[in-house]
Amino acid sequence: MFTGIISDVGEVVEMKRDSQIARYVVASRYPAASFLLGASVANSGVCLTVVEAVPHGAGARLTFDVGAETLALTTLADLAPGKRINLERPLKIGDELGGHLVSGHVDGLAEIVDREDFEGMSRFRFRAPADLSRFIATKGSVALDGTSLTVNKVEGDEFELLLIPHTLAVTTWGERRVGDRVNLEVDQMARYAARLSGRD
């Protein structure tokens, strides 16, 4: 379980892929000694298992295996050396819940359809898949590329949100452009509410 508060931005240093699986290595600032094999890390919102952690400078190089289904359903298929990626370690009992509860199980891809920059901030507009847009509500939460964000406005399958300078500086969001696809996880509470109301 995660909170959508990004704790590091890693950089892909290796990527190997065949028809069924990809293995990639991310350079991070996390200390290698803090990982046990099998630990979970959210990679741009996708919960993956650490299969190797080796020291690299003051941080670590973390290796992950990604299956064909995950590659087909998320942006991890687009990774290449030099690409930066939002990272988050899982929530521990007693940790502050600064964002919202995020599972690391991506529901689909949202597309950036507009970006407006002003006073150090950025307003983004996204188009969500039609089957997921009904779970997105004004003032509700979404996880986009692993980042917990608050929805400002919803119109049909499109929604808007505002990113403050801090978020733009400490995540990959400053690099995002119109046409980019991002990993979308809708709020779990919205899913439960829809299920209980008989609409899911």
| Residues 12-41: tens digit of each pLDDT | 999 998 878 899 999 999 999 999 889 999
Pairing of strands 108-118, 181-186: antiparallel
Single-letter residue type at 116: E
CATH code for the domain defined by 108-195: 2.40.30.20
CA–CA separation, 158 and 36 (whole Å): 40
pTM: 0.92
Whether 195 shows a pLDDT value over 70: the answer reads no
CATH architecture of the domain formed by 8-88: Beta Barrel (2.40)
Which residues lie closer than 8 Å to 155 by C-beta, 6 or more apart? none
Could you tell me the pLDDT band of residue 92, with boundaries at 50, 70 and 90? Answer: confident
pLDDT higher than threshold 80 for residue 7: yes
CA distances to 53, 121, 156 from 176, rounded to whole Å, are 28, 13, 23
Burial 45-65, CB ≥16 within 10 A → b, else e:
bbbbebeebeebeebbbbbbe
Q: Which residue intervals of the chain bear CATH 2.40.30.20?
A: 8-88, 108-195
